[in-house]
């Protein structure tokens, strides 16, 4: 609900459990007065203290009043160069060379339904409401529109900003953030999700220290190294206790999340497109739209915050035609064959897979152009007839006849110098004449800021898609951007290329979304290098990591789950020793971990034993039986795999709390292991649950407060699953 009080010029946004408030003050400065657990309302600007502070200057209208300073006030969107020395939200360069911006409130609009952002991903929903606040910097005649989307049921508040040049001369934008959030406190921890290729999104938590702390990417993608999602929380916040604020950016390119603990123990969070190499020219009448950011506040710990993000992403961000249907269990040939395959080898794997219950065969990298290794071929999206005689027209029906659907790997944003496309259009790659290209995995990046380049790729892929019955694409992206310079635009606009690249990517993905409504696209960037909410709008699942080791995956999937729902995390069972770390884990455990995601296999199933095949059949059966519970239920982290090396446990609980699936995986074994009584979560305390079909049943309160005895398991990396279903009789325990 959005409330506006004319008298006090206070805007209050209420969700089911939270309240967000701001106020236009006497000078039309937009103050941020509150964000936290739901309160009744009123004007909370009385919380703001006005004190004369040395070296905190006072705006002209305040005359000689020394207690009013932008440097100390909590603001809704911080200005630049006018006496607030904390992180700015916006930076403009005018024709006269000045870099000053002082935005003041001029008006508002409230609408039913959620705003949309042209060309950018955004949460959607008719149930939501929109508030638009209009501000203006009079001297430059630049307008600023702050957008707020309020989704009550998810406790979700979205934000975005549009900068409009209303003057007659061009304006250069050096920064335009999506979100600025001021807190009148600094006793907070910052949690970021960091890592590297094959070890993404590991949580790191530390109390705020004075000054600015930031995570960012300058790689052109959101990156393996830092995720565009951060949490600010009470020092003692945990899964069930404490105030926490999650902030998510829906953007897949260079981003920055900067947090400043200021001199008077206030905190400012600013999130948006990274100002690094960013300079966007707005001619008269032109608009820049800052991507959407999304906030969820939980008054009771991380579990609630995560579950609300999961619901919101599943129901109001993913545009997934498959969402209410189970997605096919897939087998991908990458780890089985790498580049070394032909049609016969693929059909052999498929023949082994279909009887096990696998429904989709995905042909990975190596099927096109001269792609026998990663040295060539990217850009030439026509079938390699040596490997696949007769092309997809011949291969796909053979797979379909086995009762399996067919999917394909592509890497549309990339080009190898050894390709027909590069020989014809060397200027289509990002890079500068006179400078050597920096290669990544021996490849260059296509200039996706260019419509002609995107059009060529669209046409080429359209030809591929129309050649056979293809239901799935794995959209990969295997390097970071360098020499970011476009041959298609003038020198003065080169600061736009990073951002225009992302807009170009979104444009192409949107075209596929519109033109192929049933096509399932899985995102990928060397695994989880572009696992962000921007991509999820177009690709409802993302390959979570190139690391398929079940034990490392416990950490990666744990970290990912703080924001992103299980159904978005591509997770496959692969062969052992694992490619990433040579660890050997039992097949059972690999299944337990992978089925807590968008499930599949990534191994040569023609090399498995009869016993292994039997287990795979069982795994697929379990996944098919419980996919709804896993993908649409509430997710509970029962342990932290970074803290507890002995075992990791997590749980999916159905919305009606009548069903639950608990997964439990042990670490490397030591002699005489301790007893484990696992306390479950999210059950109905009154209900009795039958565990794994046994005669006995247990009351929900007992399972949650006293726990469930986990049988002792010897050997490394063992696992078990407990399926709980509510019974109507009285409990026996």
Please give the residue ranges that form the binding site for ligand GLA (CB under 6 A). Answer: 334, 364-365, 409, 476, 478, 524, 526-527, 543, 546
Contact in structure between 359 and 330 (CB atoms under 8 Å): yes
Main-chain phi, psi angles of 724, to 5 degrees: -110, 130
Task: Specify which residues 727 forms β-bridges with.
Answer: 688
What's the helix, strand, coil split of the chain in %, to 5? 20, 30, 45
Active-site annotation holder among 84, 137, 200, 532: 532
What length is written for the chain?
Answer: 733
- Write down the least CB distance from residue 332 to ligand GLA, Å: 7
Is the CB of 456 or the CB of 479 nearer to ligand GLA? 479
The answer to whether residue 612 is catalytic is: yes
Using the CB atoms, write b or e for 494-526: b if 16+ within 10 Å. Answer: ebbbbbbbbbbbbebbbbbbeebeebbbbbbbb
Contact in structure between 472 and 518 (CB atoms under 8 Å): no
- Write down the least CB distance from residue 364 to ligand GLA, Å: 5
DSSP letters, 361-378, are EEE-S-SBTT-SSTTB-T
Strands 569-574, 598-602: pairing kind: parallel
**The tokens of 675 are what?**
């007893």
- Write down the least CB distance from residue 470 to ligand GLA, Å: 16
Residue nearest to ligand GLA (CB): 365
- Write down the least CB distance from residue 198 to ligand GLA, Å: 9
Is the CB of 546 or the CB of 604 nearer to ligand GLA? 546
- Write down the least CB distance from residue 142 to ligand GLA, Å: 42
Active-site annotation holder among 342, 372, 510, 612: 612
Q: Cα 318–321–325 angle (5° rounding)?
A: 105
Candidates 35, 4, 5, 44; CA nearest to 155 is: 35
| Cβ neighbours for 650, distance < 8 A, ≥ 6 positions apart | 558, 561, 596, 635, 636, 637, 638, 639, 662, 663
Task: Specify which residues 486 forms β-bridges with.
Answer: none
Cα Rg of the chain (Å, integer)? 27
Is the CB of 252 or the CB of 262 nearer to ligand GLA? 252
Q: Is 621 helix (H, G, I), strand (E, B) or coil?
A: helix
Is the CB of 352 or the CB of 365 nearer to ligand GLA? 365
Is the CB of 365 or the CB of 659 nearer to ligand GLA? 365
- Write down the least CB distance from residue 515 to ligand GLA, Å: 24
- Write down the least CB distance from residue 600 to ligand GLA, Å: 11
Q: Cα 682–684–690 angle (5° rounding)?
A: 100
What is the C-alpha separation between 344 and 393, in angstroms, rounded?
A: 15
Candidates 475, 464, 519; CA nearest to 327 is: 519
- Write down the least CB distance from residue 374 to ligand GLA, Å: 6
Determine the straight-line distance between the first and last CA of the chain, rounded to whole angstroms. 45
- Write down the least CB distance from residue 532 to ligand GLA, Å: 16
What is the C-alpha separation between 693 and 679, in angstroms, rounded?
A: 19
What is the C-alpha separation between 689 and 523, in angstroms, rounded?
A: 38
Is the CB of 190 or the CB of 336 nearer to ligand GLA? 336
Task: Specify which residues 267 forms β-bridges with.
Answer: 183, 261
Is the CB of 246 or the CB of 412 nearer to ligand GLA? 412
Is the CB of 5 or the CB of 340 nearer to ligand GLA? 340
**The tokens of 77 are what?**
């969107």
The answer to whether residue 265 is catalytic is: no
Is the CB of 536 or the CB of 731 nearer to ligand GLA? 536
Burial class (CB in 10 A: 0-12, 13-18, 19+), 332: buried
Catalytic residues: 532, 612
């Amino acid at each position: 609900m959005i409330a506006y009080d004319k008298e006090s010029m206070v805007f209050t946004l209420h969700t089911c459990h939270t309240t967000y408030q701001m106020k236009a003050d006497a000078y039309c400065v937009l103050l941020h007065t509150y964000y936290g657990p739901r309160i009744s309302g009123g004007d909370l600007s009385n919380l703001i203290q006005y004190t004369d502070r040395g070296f905190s200057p006072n705006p002209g209208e305040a005359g000689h009043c020394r207690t009013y300073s932008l440097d100390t006030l909590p603001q809704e969107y911080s200005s630049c160069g006018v006496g607030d020395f904390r992180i700015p939200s916006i930076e403009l360069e005018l024709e006269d060379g000045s870099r000053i911006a002082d935005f003041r409130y001029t008006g508002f609009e409230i609408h039913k339904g959620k705003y949309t952002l042209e060309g950018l991903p955004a949460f959607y929903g008719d149930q939501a409401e929109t508030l638009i606040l209009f501000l203006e910097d009079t001297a430059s005649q630049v307008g600023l529109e702050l957008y707020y989307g309020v989704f009550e049921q998810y406790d979700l508040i979205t934000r975005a900003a549009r900068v409009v040049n209303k003057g007659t001369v061009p304006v250069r934008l050096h920064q335009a953030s999506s979100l600025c959030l001021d807190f009148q406190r600094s006793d907070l921890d910052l949690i970021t999700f960091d890592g590297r290729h094959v070890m993404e999104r590991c949580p790191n938590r530390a109390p705020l220290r004075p000054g600015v702390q930031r995570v960012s990417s300058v790689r052109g993608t959101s990156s393996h190294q830092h995720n565009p999602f951060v949490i600010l929380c009470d020092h003692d916040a945990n899964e069930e206790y404490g105030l926490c604020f999650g902030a998510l950016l829906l953007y897949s390119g260079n981003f920055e999340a900067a947090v400043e603990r200021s001199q008077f123990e206030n905190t400012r969070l600013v999130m948006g497109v990274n100002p690094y190499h960013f300079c966007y020219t707005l001619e008269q009448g032109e608009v820049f739209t800052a991507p959407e950011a999304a906030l969820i506040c939980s008054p009771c710990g991380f579990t609630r915050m995560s579950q609300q993000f999961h619901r919101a992403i599943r129901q109001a961000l993913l545009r997934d035609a498959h969402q209410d249907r189970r997605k096919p269990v897939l087998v991908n040939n990458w780890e089985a064959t790498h580049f070394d395959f032909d049609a016969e080898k693929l059909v052999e794997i498929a023949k082994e897979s279909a009887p096990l219950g696998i429904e989709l065969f995905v042909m990975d990298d190596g099927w096109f152009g001269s792609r026998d290794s990663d040295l060539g071929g990217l850009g030439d999206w026509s079938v390699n007839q040596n490997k696949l005689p007769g092309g997809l027209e011949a291969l796909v029906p053979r797979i379909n006849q086995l009762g399996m659907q067919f999917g394909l790997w592509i890497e549309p944003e990339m080009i190898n110098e050894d390709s027909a496309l590069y020989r014809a259009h060397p200027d289509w790659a990002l890079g500068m004449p006179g400078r050597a290209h920096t290669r990544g995995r021996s490849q260059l990046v296509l200039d996706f800021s260019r419509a002609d380049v995107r059009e060529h790729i669209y046409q080429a892929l359209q030809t591929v898609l129309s050649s056979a019955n293809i239901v799935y694409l794995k959209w990969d992206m295997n390097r970071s951007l360098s020499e970011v310079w476009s041959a298609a635009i003038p020198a003065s606009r080169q600061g736009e290329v990073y951002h225009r690249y992302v807009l170009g990517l979104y444009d192409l993905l949107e075209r596929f979304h519109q033109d192929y409504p049933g096509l399932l696209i899985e995102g990928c960037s060397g695994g989880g290098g572009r696992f962000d909410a921007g991509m999820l709008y177009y690709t409802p699942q993302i390959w979570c990591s190139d690391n398929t080791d079940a034990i490392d995956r416990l950490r990666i999937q744990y970290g990912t789950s703080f924001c992103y729902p299980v159904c978005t995390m591509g997770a496959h069972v692969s062969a052992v020793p694992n490619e990433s770390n040579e660890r050997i884990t039992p097949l059972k455990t690999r299944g337990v971990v992978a089925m807590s995601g968008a499930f599949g296999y990534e191994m040569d199933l023609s090399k498995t034993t009869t016993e292994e095949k039997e287990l795979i059949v069982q795994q697929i059966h379990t996944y098919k039986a419980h996919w709804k519970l896993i993908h649409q239920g509430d997710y509970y982290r029962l342990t932290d795999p970074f803290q507890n090396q002995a075992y990791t446990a997590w749980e999916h609980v159905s919305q009606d709390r009548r069903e639950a699936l608990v997964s439990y995986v042990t670490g490397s074994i030591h002699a005489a292991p301790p007893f484990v009584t696992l306390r479950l979560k999210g059950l109905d305390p009154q209900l009795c649950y039958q565990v794994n079909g046994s005669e006995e049943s247990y009351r929900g309160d007992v399972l949650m407060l006293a726990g469930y005895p986990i049988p002792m398991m010897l050997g490394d990396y063992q696992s078990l699953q407990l399926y709980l279903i509510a019974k109507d009789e009285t409990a026996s325990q």
